[in-house]
Amino acid sequence: GNSVTQMEGPVTLSEEAFLTINCTYTATGYPSLFWYVQYPGEGLQLLLKATKADDKGSNKGFEATYRKETTSFHLEKGSVQVSDSAVYFCALSDRTSGTYKYIFGTGTRLKVLA
């Protein structure tokens, strides 16, 4: 079945450091891919998405490129801020089910130190 694998956290970085959070997927066909962010005490907010191979999603300085060859959708940011501290979830939309339900990775907690 479809699945998403995310790198284990927590990830601790200093402010202005470069961020990479790895995400790989297994899927039948070519699902849409998403990154969601969960700030402390809040719900899941869409950060960015990509719907087909080679698409790059971007938002708030974050980027991720849909790589079909490596079945990956790694999240990157060139310079993190303290306010980026949150839990980041990679997810795919399961097109095979017809309901487009999401399958999530385990989430990666990011802590940015001033």
Partner 1 sequence: EPEVTQTPSHQVTQMGQEVILRCVPISNHLYFYWYRQILGQKVEFLVSFYNNEISEKSEIFDDQFSVERPDGSNFTLKIRSTKLEDSAMYFCASRGTGRQETQYFGPGTRLLVL
C-beta closer to partner 1: residue 79 or 96? 96
**Residue among 12, 14, 26, 45 that touches partner 1 (CB under 8 A):** 45
CB proximity list for 97: less than 8 A, separation 6 or greater: none
**Residue among 29, 69, 99, 114 that touches partner 1 (CB under 8 A):** 99
Output the DSSP codes for 83-111: GG-EEEEEEEE-GGGSS--EEE---EEEE
Q: What is the C-alpha separation between 59 and 50, in angstroms, rounded? A: 12
Interface with partner 1, residue 62, by CB under 8 A: no
Do strands 86-93 and 32-38 pair parallel, antiparallel, or not at all (unpaired)? antiparallel
Nearest approach in angstroms of CB 57 to partner 1 is 11
Interface with partner 1, residue 57, by CB under 8 A: no
Q: Amino acid identity of 68?
A: K
Nearest approach in angstroms of CB 99 to partner 1 is 4
Interface with partner 1, residue 98, by CB under 8 A: yes
**Residue among 107, 108, 110, 112 that touches partner 1 (CB under 8 A):** 107
Radius of gyration, alpha carbons of the chain: 14
For residues 15 to 34, the per-residue mask of contacts with partner 1, x marking binding by CB under 8 A and - elsewhere, is -----------------x-x
